[in-house]
Homo-oligomer: A and B are copies of this chain.
Amino acid sequence: MTFSEENYLKTIYHLTAISDIDVSTNAIAEKMETKASSVTDMLKKLSEKDLVNYIKYQGVSLTDKGKLAAKMIVRKHRLWECFLVEKLDFSWDEVHDIAEQLEHIKSEKLINKLDDFLGNPTEDPHGDPIPDAQGRIIKVEKQLLSEFDKNQIGICVGVKDTSSDFLKYLDKQEIALGSQIEIIEKESFDSSFRIRVGSKELTVSNKIASNIYIK
């Protein structure tokens, strides 16, 4: 399997995880910053290999084989992110791009040994679940901060947007995984939130609140 094929599988996996319905050619093209015609070519190839169910003009979904392959790539990506943060002391906003490269290293033994070395973590530095060697995922039900109401309290357990910019913003506000967040006030006009994080109080926009997972 080539790097490119792996990247397509991963993208389709992530897009189907969101909405569950078939993924469109354009959605893939947009996410991968490539052209729709390139996507079509690749879908034909992946279909030929029985990794996706593809019907012309009708969108695409992963086969069981394709889904497992995608999960193994996600597994590698997230384990490497753990390694970078836990062992090499990278911050959570620096690891994604390097993991994008490391996720393509081919060695089952390597990834399983890495898993053990890290103590078999179930979540990556952004709170995303790590599939095990069989592709099983422990789902933790979590809500967006934006769905919370006044006076509710929760723990930050993940982020939806994992861009470096957003993660740095959270660092600045001293919001990290494990932080306790209390909703002091929800402004009905713009759906912004007044929250308490630790001892500090701050106001966050709805856009921010829509990218923080709470449990």
Contact = CB atoms under 8 A, between A and B. Distances in A.
A113 interface: yes
Contact of A110 (B98, B107, B114): B98
Interface stretch (A33-41, A49-57, A83-91, A188-196): A83-91
A169 interface: no
A110 B88 CA distance: 8
A172 B117 CA distance: 27
A105 interface: yes
Integer count of this chain's copies in the complex:
2
B110 A105 contact: no
Contacts of A106: 101
A15 interface: no
Contacts of A110: 84, 88, 98
A105 B113 contact: no
A177 interface: no
A102 interface: yes
Interface in A108-146: 109-110, 113-114, 117
A72 to B, nearest CB: 16
Given A87-B117, A88-B114, A105 B102 contact: yes
